[in-house]
């Protein structure tokens, strides 16, 4: 079931919420059980056949967690190693079996048949969440072991399919708290408002960018600089609005139930450098990779060479987490390289005392970071490596600059100038070109000039780890919008909601469901 | 407490304004009625002219046909959608109510489904004109059969009814309805399901017919070069398309519906590209297979009335000159571009099929009533026409060859049959 569907908005969500708060009057355990059962129903709507796998994974990790938590000495470590290995093997089987076989076939010249394993939806997210739980348990951070709460922690439908990746320690106290089981007008008003903003990001922006990005990445003909940048920017904004929209919807839905989820996006495209970008993009995955991969690898504690190696390895594995393919590996390694360069540059800039805090430096930093991120997105999205190289080549201007011929008539005095600059014109595709760039401009305007959901809702603690100062100093001025529970905002949210409901005719899946 | 009240007030205001918005939207769409589904208000200058729907066209047209219960139904893809006007003198003159049920970008499967639904509603027509498109039948003979798509059932089958009343598309189409009442270049659909393609007039004025033909030719060069060269699967000696055609013809015969199968009058430029890309022999195999299908039907249903018309060729009409590059003054009479003919040519086709009195004299050979006995005669006709067309328009053949060669030079490693969606039913703009 999609968040952006009538069945979810008009049936599943109200029924689940009403049942939850009605049961909570009698028993918190019953209410938590109801929410877990509703979450399993939500998951089963996608794939009933993988519910046993999900339940087996939950049961195994719960028992392993108890063993780790109650064990001591080497047994504790053995249980941790066993459980983490089992989780990774499960993930590897479903996600990487065919990738591994085709790799062996390519290197060894063998012809092993592919297994064509179907990836159970959400497995990457619930496996990572449980690995974090196991490690936290080993480190003594887990205090609560009630099964119904653990079941709810993993299956909780707002985050089950595509995150945010949760920490046991940040959720369990909320499932314990009495206030979470009381229907609150504040939570409903705030939750619905955040949900409406997320839904608008998805159905009004991302879904309108999607046909243009898809058309560009699926076509095979060479393209000029403007067509290439138009297509790549359309994808960059589509991915941001799609995934951050999903995350906002998850946060909003959860808030209705009185549960706060952690923030997952904080205007990442406004980042002044790539280090900051990873603190603002898919923040809960970055947090996971930092806490459970980069730091255990040694982080930056063993010198610069080791730090760079750890960065590269973390980003490579982060790339491969998104999917079994060389494109994802290249994407991860590109970001690893970006981070290494960024760290080296930061050290040099500090030594030379460059004024990197000045507005002009920061603006240049935003532009450079955004361009670098867009280049990397090409490898993330392209159907194959050679196609990605073709696109990157076109983005660098190697295929020249082309405009649709239908625009030529509207250029008037500009036409001779463009001719002199070597701009050429191609037949057809004028509507596509114009619409792509119009939607890119809409996406860019919202991304770079509007406050994000966290900033709009800043007076009402929208997310779990909300801090007023989060996100560093503002890079660009944005429209001052602050949500208030008044009539004006009620009408604004209802208009937004109406526009979204009108656009739900053909609900499209979220991009991150494939990971 | 006061704070709680403000949140509760917020929720109430939000719910009330949302409900009001929903009701106003539905009321607006129902009154303006952009898809002719409600017919409560029909006022010239307000909502009499309707926009061409981009979504649910099949359901909307089917609802229109059900309401009108026409004697003649036109089916096919965009070529019929924009090419044959049911308000034709040939149909209106004979007092035969007609409806254009053609759906762009679809194959015979859609036509079969529509016929079944008309039949179920007790509205099976007495005459069916079915355009059959060679490109819909192309497939890789060794490919696996794709599972048949089931039409949405139950609540999902009613989804279009909700979306045509409450959706952004419906709201925008209702607004568009108000806007286009006096716009001669608007994309519209007539009350009988015909798409006059007025919006192409603007493109023709701005870009010229040369550009429109060129864009289509470039798409054809790509599609034909990548197209598979089979019309049946080796394993079954058939395909879903042939099964749908057989099923439709059988159903029409059972309903005693007179059926005219129309092989489209592709423009000479397109025909030349079929030759350049090695598809010509496949095109002839396909026609033979159509003849076989008609013979099978006649054997199974001796009372069936089915005629196969071959409108393909290089005759004077199909060989219409393409205006020169940069020429924004001269237009075409018969074709929008090489894949889509204008209703003027559609009118000639109807004259040929129905042979009404007072019809304009037809060029010799236009619309050949094809049967097994005159197969060779028809081939000779096309060869004769080709020689004359080549002599009259040598540049058209040269340009077609150059466009195909240019595509194949850019993609030297793409063999025929690699995953091209050859259906050219969609319009290029």
ipTM of the complex: 0.86
Cβ neighbours of residue A407 closer than 8 Å, sequence gap 6 or more: A425, A430, A433, A434
Give the pLDDT mean for A385-397: 92
According to DSSP, the residues that pair with A404 across neighbouring strands are A426
Chain A residues close to B55, C-beta within 8 Å: 505
pLDDT of residue B359: 56
- The two most distant CA atoms of chain A are separated, in Å, by 80
Structure-token match 């004028």, residue found: A430
Instruction: Please give the Cα distance from B287 to B297 (Å, whole number).
Output: 15
- Whether B416 has a pLDDT exceeding 80, the answer reads no
What are the two backbone dihedrals, phi and then psi, of residue A482, each rounded to the nearest 5 degrees?
-140, 120
pLDDT of residue B427: 38
Instruction: Please give the Cα distance from A171 to A260 (Å, whole number).
Output: 8
pLDDT of residue B185: 92
Residue B399 — pLDDT band, cuts 50, 70, 90?
very high
Burial B43-70 (b: 16+ CB within 10 A, else e): eeeebebbbbbebbbbbbbbbbbeebeb
Locate B389 and state its tokens: 């067309």
pLDDT of residue B415: 52
Per this entry, what is the length of chain B?
429
- Whether B426 has a pLDDT exceeding 50, the answer reads no
A7 lies within 8 A of chain B by CB:
no
- Whether B353 has a pLDDT exceeding 70, the answer reads yes
Structure letter (DSSP) for residue B146:
P
Residue B92 — pLDDT band, cuts 50, 70, 90?
low
Q: Residue B16's closest CA among A199, A497, A4?
A: A497
Chain B residues close to A487, C-beta within 8 Å: 9-10, 13
Chain A residues close to B3, C-beta within 8 Å: 186, 485
- Whether A509 has a pLDDT exceeding 70, the answer reads no
Nearest C-alpha in A relative to B427 = A428
Q: Are strands B98-100 and B72-75 parallel, antiparallel or unpaired?
A: parallel
Between A192, A220, A498, which is nearest B21 by CB? A498
Q: Residue B261's closest CA among B313, B306, B303?
A: B306
* DSSP secondary structure letters along B280-322: HHHHHHHHHHHHHHHHHHHHH-TT--EEEEE--S--TTTTPPP
- Whether A26 has a pLDDT exceeding 70, the answer reads yes
Q: How many helices (H) and strands (E) does chain B have?
A: 15, 10
- Give the pTM: 0.86
Give the pLDDT mean for B222-248: 94
Poorest-pLDDT segment among A156-165, A230-239, A271-280: A156-165
Contact A427 B215 (CB under 8 A): yes
Q: Residue A38's closest CA among A176, A152, A171?
A: A152
Give the pLDDT mean for B25-49: 96
pLDDT of residue A510: 60
CA-CA-CA-CA torsion for A207, A208, A210, A215, nearest 10 degrees? 150
Residue B419 — pLDDT band, cuts 50, 70, 90?
very low
Q: For all residues of chain A together, what is the average pLDDT?
A: 90
Contact A501 B163 (CB under 8 A): no
pLDDT of residue A475: 60
Contact A487 B10 (CB under 8 A): yes
Nearest C-alpha in A relative to B15 = A494
Residue B425 — pLDDT band, cuts 50, 70, 90?
very low
Locate B114 and state its tokens: 């529509």
Nearest C-alpha in A relative to B407 = A221
Write the pLDDT tens digit of every residue in A238-291.
999 999 999 999 999 999 999 999 999 999 999 999 999 999 999 999 998 999
Residue A166 — pLDDT band, cuts 50, 70, 90?
confident
Q: Residue B226's closest CA among B119, B139, B121?
A: B139
Write the pLDDT tens digit of every residue in A290-335.
998 999 888 878 888 899 999 999 999 999 888 888 889 999 999 9
Contact B17 A491 (CB under 8 A): yes
Chain B residues close to A184, C-beta within 8 Å: 7
Instruction: Please give the Cα distance from B94 to A328 (Å, whole number).
Output: 66
Q: Which of B14, B60, B207, B337 to mutate to test the interface with A (most CBs of A within 10 A)?
A: B14
Among A122-126, A417-421, A453-457, B420-424, which range has the highest average pLDDT? A453-457
Structure letter (DSSP) for residue A80:
H
Structure letter (DSSP) for residue B322:
P
Contact A431 B410 (CB under 8 A): no
Between A427, A489, A502, which is nearest B10 by CB? A489
pLDDT of residue A143: 78
Structure-token match 């406004």, residue found: A270
Between A185, A409, A502, which is nearest B25 by CB? A502
Using a CB–CB cut-off of 8 Å, the residues of B that contact A are: 3-4, 6-15, 17-18, 21-22, 25, 55, 163, 166-169, 171, 203, 206-207, 211, 214-215, 218-219, 222, 410-411, 428-429
Contact A505 B169 (CB under 8 A): yes
pLDDT of residue B154: 74
Give the pLDDT mean for A133-152: 88
Contact B14 A431 (CB under 8 A): no
| CB B336 within 8 Å of CB B395 | no
Q: From the CA of A221, how many Å to the nearest CA of chain B? A: 9
Q: From the CA of B330, how many Å to the nearest CA of chain A? A: 18
The H or E element spanning position A53 is helix A51-70
- Whether B3 has a pLDDT exceeding 70, the answer reads no
Write the pLDDT tens digit of every residue in A341-380.
999 999 999 999 998 888 899 999 999 999 999 999 999 9
Q: Which of A490, A493, A503, A506 to mutate to test the interface with B (most CBs of B within 10 A)?
A: A490
Contact A491 B428 (CB under 8 A): no
| CB B248 within 8 Å of CB B112 | yes
Helix%, strand%, coil% for chain B, nearest 5: 50, 10, 40
- Whether A389 has a pLDDT exceeding 70, the answer reads yes
Locate B416 and state its tokens: 């025929």
Residue B420 — pLDDT band, cuts 50, 70, 90?
very low
A185 lies within 8 A of chain B by CB:
yes
What are the two backbone dihedrals, phi and then psi, of residue B307, each rounded to the nearest 5 degrees?
-125, 135
What are the two backbone dihedrals, phi and then psi, of residue B282, each rounded to the nearest 5 degrees?
-70, -35
pLDDT of residue B356: 60
User: Considering A322, A335, A410, A412, which one is annotated as catalytic?
Assistant: A322
- The two most distant CA atoms of chain B are separated, in Å, by 93
Give the pLDDT mean for A5-10: 92
Write the pLDDT tens digit of every residue in A455-490.
999 999 888 865 554 544 556 667 788 999 999 999
Residue pairs between chains A and B whose CB atoms are closer than 8 Å: 91
Q: Reply yes or no on whether A322 is catalytic.
A: yes
The angle formed by the CA atoms of residues B55, A2 and A263, to the nearest 5 degrees, is: 125
Q: From the CA of B136, how many Å to the nearest CA of chain A? A: 21
Percent of chain A predicted with pLDDT > 90: 62
């Amino acid at each position: 079931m999609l968040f952006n569907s009538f069945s979810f908005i008009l049936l599943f969500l109200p029924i689940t919420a009403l049942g939850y708060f009605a049961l909570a009057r009698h028993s918190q355990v019953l209410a938590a059980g109801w929410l877990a059962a509703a979450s399993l129903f939500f998951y089963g709507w996608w794939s009933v056949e993988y519910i046993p796998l999900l339940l087996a994974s939950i049961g195994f990790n719960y028992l392993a967690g108890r063993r780790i938590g109650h064990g001591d000495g080497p047994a504790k470590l053995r249980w941790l190693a066993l459980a983490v290995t089992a989780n990774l093997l499960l993930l590897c089987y479903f996600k990487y079996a065919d990738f591994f076989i085709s790799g062996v076939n390519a290197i060894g010249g063998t012809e092993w048949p592919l297994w064509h394993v179907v990836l159970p939806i959400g497995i990457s997210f619930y496996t990572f969440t449980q690995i974090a739980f196991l490690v936290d348990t080993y480190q003594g951070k887990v205090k609560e072991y009630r099964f119904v709460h653990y079941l709810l922690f993993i299956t909780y439908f707002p985050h089950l399919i595509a995150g945010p990746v949760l920490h046991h320690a940040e959720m369990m106290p909320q499932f314990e708290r009495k206030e979470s089981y009381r229907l609150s007008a504040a939570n409903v008003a705030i939750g619905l408002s955040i949900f409406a903003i997320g839904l608008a990001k998805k159905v009004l922006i991302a879904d309108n960018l999607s046909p243009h990005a898809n058309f560009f990445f699926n076509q095979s003909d060479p393209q000029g600089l403007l067509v290439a940048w138009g297509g790549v920017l359309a994808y960059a904004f589509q991915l941001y609005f799609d995934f951050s929209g999903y995350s906002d919807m998850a946060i909003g839905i959860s808030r209705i139930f009185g549960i706060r989820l952690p923030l997952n996006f904080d205007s990442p495209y406004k980042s002044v450098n790539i280090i900051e970008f990873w603190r603002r993009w898919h923040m809960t995955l970055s947090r996971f990779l930092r806490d459970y991969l980069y730091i255990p690898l040694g982080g930056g504690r063993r010198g610069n060479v080791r730090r760079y190696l750890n960065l590269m390895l973390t980003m490579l594995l982060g790339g491969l987490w998104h999917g079994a393919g060389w494109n994802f590996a290249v994407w991860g390694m590109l970001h690893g390289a970006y981070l290494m360069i960024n760290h080296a540059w930061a050290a040099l800039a500090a030594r030379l005392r460059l004024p990197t805090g000045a507005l002009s430096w920061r603006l240049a930093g935003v532009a450079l970071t955004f361009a670098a991120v867009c280049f990397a997105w090409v490898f993330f999205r392209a159907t194959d490596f050679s196609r990605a190289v073709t696109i990157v080549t076109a983005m660098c201007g190697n295929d020249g600059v082309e405009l649709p011929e239908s625009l030529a008539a509207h250029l008037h005095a500009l036409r001779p100038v463009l001719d002199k600059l070597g701009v050429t014109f191609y037949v057809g595709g004028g509507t596509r070109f114009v619409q792509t760039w119009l939607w890119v401009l809409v996406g860019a305007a919202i991304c770079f000039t509007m406050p994000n959901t966290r900033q709009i809702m800043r007076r009402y603690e929208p997310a779990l780890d909300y801090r007023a100062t989060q996100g560093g100093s503002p890079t660009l001025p944005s429209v001052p919008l602050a949500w208030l529970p008044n009539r004006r905002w009620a009408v604004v949210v209802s208009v937004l909601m109406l526009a979204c409901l009108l656009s739900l005719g053909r609900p499209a899946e979220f991009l991150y469901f494939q990971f | 407490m006061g704070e709680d009240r403000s949140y509760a007030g917020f929720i109430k205001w939000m719910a009330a304004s949302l409900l009001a918005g929903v009701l106003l939207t539905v009321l607006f769409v129902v009154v303006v009625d952009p898809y002719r589904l409600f017919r409560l208000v029909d006022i010239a200058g307000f909502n009499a002219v309707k926009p061409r729907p981009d979504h649910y066209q099949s359901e909307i047209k089917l609802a229109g046909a059900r309401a009108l219960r026409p004697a003649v139904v036109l089916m096919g893809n965009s070529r019929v959608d924009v090419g044959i006007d049911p308000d034709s003198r040939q149909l209106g003159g004979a007092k035969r109510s007609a409806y254009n049920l053609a759906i762009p970008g679809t194959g015979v499967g859609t036509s079969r489904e529509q016929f079944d639904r008309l039949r179920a509603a007790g509205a099976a027509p007495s005459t069916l004109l079915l355009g059959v498109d060679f490109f819909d039948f192309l497939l890789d003979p060794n490919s696996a059969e794709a599972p048949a798509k089931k039409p949405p059932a139950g609540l999902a089958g009613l989804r279009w009814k909700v979306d045509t009343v409450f959706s952004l598309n419906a709201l925008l189409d209702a607004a568009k309805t108000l806007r286009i009442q006096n716009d001669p270049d608007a994309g519209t659909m007539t009350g009988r399901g015909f798409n006059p393609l007025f919006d192409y007039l603007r493109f023709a004025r701005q870009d010229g017919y040369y550009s429109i033909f060129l864009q289509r030719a470039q798409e054809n060069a790509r599609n034909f070069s990548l197209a598979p060269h089979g019309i049946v699967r080796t394993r079954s000696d058939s395909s879903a398309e042939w099964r749908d055609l057989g099923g439709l013809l059988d159903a029409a015969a059972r309903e005693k519906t007179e059926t005219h199968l129309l092989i489209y009058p592709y423009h000479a430029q397109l025909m030349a590209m079929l030759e350049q890309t090695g598809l010509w022999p496949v095109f002839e195999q396909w026609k033979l297979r159509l003849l076989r299908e008609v013979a099978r039907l006649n054997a199974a249903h001796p009372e069936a009335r089915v005629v196969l018309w071959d409108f393909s060729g290089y005759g004077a009409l199909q060989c219409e000159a393409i205006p020169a590059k940069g020429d924004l003054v001269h237009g075409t009479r018969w074709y929008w571009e090489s894949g889509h003919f204008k209703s003027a040519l559609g009118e000639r086709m109807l004259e040929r099929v129905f042979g009404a009195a007072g019809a304009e004299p037809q060029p010799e050979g236009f619309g050949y009533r094809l049967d097994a006995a005159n197969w060779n005669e028809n081939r000779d006709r096309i060869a004769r026409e080709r020689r004359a067309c080549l002599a009259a328009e040598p540049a058209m053949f040269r340009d077609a060859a150059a466009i195909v060669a240019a595509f194949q030079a850019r993609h030297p490693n793409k063999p025929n049959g690699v995953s091209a969606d050859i259906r050219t039913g969609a319009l290029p703009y």
